[in-house]
């Protein structure tokens, strides 16, 4: 799983090619899953769609080692503090990492299904 990290994102074509090479050198299956959140988005959930589109473009361009992508999604966009004694929890809003909402998730999935 390529999820980015302290050195920045690692979802670009160059990073994927490097991961493919390292997997091959290790005698492992070249199967790469890319996390659109966390370090790859700089922990900015609103960047997930653009990252996902880049991943799809790589796959369309012939990078078959990419076997999937992960997004952080919930019913409603954003996140909330937990515990928060001053306010009740909002239904459908993450209590961990910020997420894209359901409507945007649905649109992305349908768009990608048409492209792949």
pTM of the model: 0.92
**Per residue in 44-75, pLDDT tens?**
999 999 999 999 999 999 999 999 999 999 99
Measured between alpha carbons, how far is 13 from 37 in angstroms, rounded to an integer? 17
pLDDT average, residue stretch 66-88: 96
**Three-state DSSP class for 78?**
strand
Paired tokens of 97: 């990492």
Nearest Cα neighbor of 116 from 73, 53, 72, 70 is: 53
Neighbour-count burial for 22-58, b at 16+ CB within 10 Å, e otherwise: eeeeeeeebebebbbbbbbbeeebebbbebbebbbeb
Average pLDDT over residues 103-116: 96
Report the pLDDT value the prediction gives residue 85, as an integer from 0 to 100: 87
Percent of the chain having pLDDT more than 70?
100
């Amino acid at each position: 799983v390529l999820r980015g990290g302290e050195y920045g994102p690692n979802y670009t074509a160059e990073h994927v090619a490097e991961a493919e090479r390292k997997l091959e050198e290790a005698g492992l299956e070249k199967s790469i899953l890319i996390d659109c959140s966390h370090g790859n988005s700089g922990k900015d959930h609103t960047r997930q769609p653009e990252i996902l589109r880049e991943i799809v473009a790589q796959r369309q361009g012939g990078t078959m080692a990419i076997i999937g992508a992960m997004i952080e999604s919930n019913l409603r966009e954003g996140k909330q503090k937990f515990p928060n004694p001053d306010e009740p929890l909002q239904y459908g809003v993450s209590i961990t990492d910020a997420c894209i909402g359901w409507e945007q998730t649905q649109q992305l999935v349908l768009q990608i299904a048409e492209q792949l």
